Structure 1
Amino acid sequence: MFFFMLLYLAFVLVRPQDYPDWENLGIPILPILLVAAFLFWLPSRNKDLSAPQYLLLPAFLLVLMVSQIFNGWMGGAIAQLSSFGPAVLAFLVLSHATVDRKRVVTTMAMIVACSAVLSVHGIEQVRDGIGWTGIGLSQETRIQYVGIFNDPNDLGLLFIMALPMAMYLASRGGLLGLRRLFWWTGGGLLLYGIYLTSSRGALLALISVLGVWVWRRRGVMMAAILGAGALGGVMMLPSRMGEIDAGEASAAGRVDAWYSGMEMFVAHPLFGIGPGNFADNNFNLTAHNSFVLVIAETGFFGYVFWLAFVCYGFMMMLAVLRHEPELTEPAAIAEWKTERSIAMTLLLSQVGFYTATFFLSRSYVILLYLLAALVLGYYVGARQRYPGLPRFELSRDLVRWPLAAVGSIIGLYLLVKILLVTS
């Protein structure tokens, strides 16, 4: 099972099946690998479906299907099952495959290695004007890749997710320092790749990652000072990365799209306008915000499920960081330190990923659900190793998540109104 999921992950990220010379072969490599992994998982006796995410994600898929029916397209339910169903299946299998801590680290290594390959491709694009895929630069200046990474912003999203993992892998040392050097090099490639994407969302995500890391290490005040200084430095950059301003044309367009999304929600509050229909209702322009996209397209019901699914990932990693087991043996203390380091790594990856998606319409992309699976798999394993960690149950939070959804919708609406006034 784990072997096939690693292969699946590699093909999702490196995507040789999307190379111009290969894409006409017609071999559905991703479905084949995913089904193979699922078939190996199916007879496993170690299934644990008690985590809230195992109920929330299928419920979200159901809302996607019902939303299409409510908006007059019966066939849309089957279309959503076909398009989003693989993400649910990949989440199910990968989360079970990564309960073992060594597998978590191996999966992180695969993500970093594949991401570094994409960064090298981008460096080749900048040097030669075209990469080995046959794909050139976007807008003549920004690196891009093939398939789901043909947008520079998506590359930045992947790089910022993988960067904390590279830093963790580099911190482990070994092999006379060669392993540390290898992963530091990978981290450097990812950092340079973020710069080459010229993605303002990725840069803000990087600042957020650094801010949270400093907050956990040095406190809120130092994190705030660092964040303010970093943001000021970004504003002084000579490129488009320095144009982070609600009055700038691209940013103003985002704010207008967010406002349109809130209007769509008001008009269709229960199940939204249907997944994939935002652009059709906004002059062929996307939402530029994953949260607004879910609110507009799936309504209140879909947003409650999706928001809870996302937030549980953060809560689980924070639970590990806040847990203080009573340990006396040096070996046990060292093991717990490793647990905390992995939890911090996955927390930072989530912070970077969701900060970037706040400026992108990426609510349904497979990358989000693979990261969520890795987070859940790690936490399930951590609870097996440290039973004192809290057990999260959806039945205890039946009031929390609707209230959180209402509060965040109101907060987003107020933010949009403020940005519209200031722009």
Structure 2
Amino acid sequence: MFPLILCYVVLTIVRPQEYIPALIGVPVLPIVLALSFAAWIASGTGRPRAPQFPILLAFFAVLMVSEVANGWVGGVKDQLGKFGPVVLAFFMIAAACNTQRRILTLMSVMVLCATILSLHGIGQARSGIGWTDIPLGEDGRIQYVGIFNDPNDLGMLFVSVFPMACLLLKRGSPFGKALWLGCILVLLYGVRLTNSRGAMLGVLVVIGGYIWYRRGAIVAGVLGAAGLAVMKMLSSRMQELDAGEESASGRVDAWYEGLQMFKSHPLLGVGPGNFTDYNPLTAHNSFVLVLAETGFVGYVLWLMLIGYTFWMVATVLRLKPDPITDPERHAAWSVERPMALTLLLSLCGMFTCAFFLSRSYMIVLYVVLAIVTGFYLGARERIGGLPSFSMNESGMRWVPAAIGSIAGLFVLVSVLLRTEG
């Protein structure tokens, strides 16, 4: 099953089926996913116990119910085809990636695939067109095929795997260190070529988060401010990072319209994919998009999915067994800690990007969430003493958290609109 999962991830990111003539039109991704699912069933591996599994299924159900509630019964079939593969991929990756070795292997594959996309962008920036026959964007920003046709999506991918590449660099042999260092440099250059403000902020958050963990908040804040100043010098779009700038203004207006959609359809939203039926510009915010399209019910579930995932890696980092009274657990925790920190930084960078992008249903986001879920389930067995999360005990806390975050979005948009005016 695991080799098929790796193949599925490669096809999802590199997407040769979309530009190699012999593969165009062949349902390669569905075939590999179906084979992976069949291998999973044949292996007899059951669904591990983690709240993310029922939450994701419930969110999937809300997507379909929302379509029906908004008058499109055919939307059930549409969501089965669009989001169904995401659910299957999440389940299989989370079930399979419960050992450090498998997680590191999957990280290696993701970093190498993202590096290939960045190399494509570098060639595209130099010659004006990439080997996929995709030209450089009109605004001079690099792009790829399929789900990575938007430079912002490329940037989000690069940011998501950046911490993984850093972990691989630390653990690699001399040759491996050279390889992963090269990947890191190529990825960071790729972020610059995307000229994505969200991706640049994501890189800053990843680096700042690491410094915060190692050196404290004050050092991280000072260096973060310096890093932001450097990024503004390197990117013309970062220099326009204010609510009055045209692109930013359009985003704020889209956020406002998304909140109005929620007010008019508070329970189940306007339906997945229907945001642009009400506003010409997409939400440019994954949280606003889920809130507008799936209403309060879908938003709570989506927030739970994300919240439990962050909670898991934070729990591992906070454990810190005493090295004197419990040396065995401390030794086991010391092995797991770097990976927990890496995954936390990957989540932070990815959701920094997601806050400025409409990528609530994008496969890469759920792959990372699945890796974290599998990691925690494996870490519980390897360390011992880590809690099992149960929605019966902690599920209701997400309702006030959702209400508070929604109120925060309303306040933020109100402030930004006044600033814009």
Normalising by structure 2, report the TM-score. Answer: 0.96
Amino acid corresponding to residue 12 of structure 1 in structure 2? T
Q: Match for residue 269 of structure 1?
A: 266
Q: Match for residue 87 of structure 2?
A: 88
Aligned-partner Cα distance in 1 for 2:22–2:231:
40
CA contact (8 A) 2:47 2:91 kept: no
Q: Match for residue 101 of structure 2?
A: 102
Shift of 1:252: 0.4
Shift of 1:136: 1.1
Aligned-partner Cα distance in 2 for 1:332–1:392:
20
Aligned-partner Cα distance in 2 for 1:217–1:68:
46
When structure 1 is superposed on structure 2, of 185-194 and 134-143 the one drifting more is 134-143
- 1:223-269 Cα offsets, whole Å, 9 max, x none, are 22222222233334452232211110000000000000000000000
Aligned-partner Cα distance in 2 for 1:369–1:226:
31
Q: Match for residue 209 of structure 2?
A: 212
- 1:67-115 Cα offsets, whole Å, 9 max, x none, are 1111111111221122111100000011111012100000000000000
Aligned-partner Cα distance in 2 for 1:138–1:37:
36
Number of equivalenced pairs:
419
Q: Match for residue 356 of structure 1?
A: 353
Shift of 1:399: 2.0
Aligned-partner Cα distance in 1 for 2:147–2:355:
18
Aligned-partner Cα distance in 1 for 2:370–2:388:
17
Aligned-partner Cα distance in 1 for 2:263–2:46:
41
Q: Match for residue 73 of structure 2?
A: 74
Alignment of 1:229-308 (within 5 A): 229-237=226-234, 239-282=236-279, 284-308=280-304
Distance 1:4 1:56, change over 3 A: same
Distance 1:238 1:180, change over 3 A: closer
Shift of 1:130: 1.0
Aligned-partner Cα distance in 2 for 1:140–1:94:
37
Shift of 1:215: 1.1
Distance 1:73 1:137, change over 3 A: same
CA contact (8 A) 2:321 2:330 kept: no
Distance 1:330 1:186, change over 3 A: farther
- 1:283-318 Cα offsets, whole Å, 9 max, x none, are x21000000000000000000000010111111011
Q: Match for residue 314 of structure 2?
A: 318
- 1:32-74 Cα offsets, whole Å, 9 max, x none, are 1111111111133442432000010010011001111111111
Q: Match for residue 402 of structure 1?
A: 399
Q: Which runs of 5+ in 1 are unaligned?
A: none
Distance 1:245 1:396, change over 3 A: same
Aligned-partner Cα distance in 2 for 1:258–1:240:
20
Alignment of 1:69-218 (within 5 A): 69-174=68-173, 177-218=174-215
Q: Match for residue 6 of structure 1?
A: 6
Q: Match for residue 19 of structure 1?
A: 19
Aligned-partner Cα distance in 2 for 1:392–1:331:
24
Give the match's secondary structure for 2:199.
Answer: helix
Q: Match for residue 33 of structure 2?
A: 34
Aligned-partner Cα distance in 2 for 1:294–1:23:
34
Aligned-partner Cα distance in 1 for 2:328–2:120:
42
Q: Which runs of 5+ in 2 are unaligned?
A: none
Q: Does structure 1 residue 47 correspond to structure 2 residue 43?
A: no
CA contact (8 A) 2:322 2:330 kept: no
Normalising by structure 1, report the TM-score. Answer: 0.96
Aligned-partner Cα distance in 2 for 1:71–1:12:
31
Aligned-partner Cα distance in 2 for 1:20–1:287:
33
CA contact (8 A) 2:329 2:383 kept: no
CA RMSD of aligned residues (A): 1.6
Aligned-partner Cα distance in 1 for 2:322–2:202:
35
Give the match's secondary structure for 1:42.
Answer: helix
Aligned-partner Cα distance in 2 for 1:348–1:186:
18
Q: Match for residue 387 of structure 2?
A: 390
CA contact (8 A) 2:262 2:269 kept: yes
Shift of 1:129: 1.2
Aligned-partner Cα distance in 2 for 1:378–1:421:
44
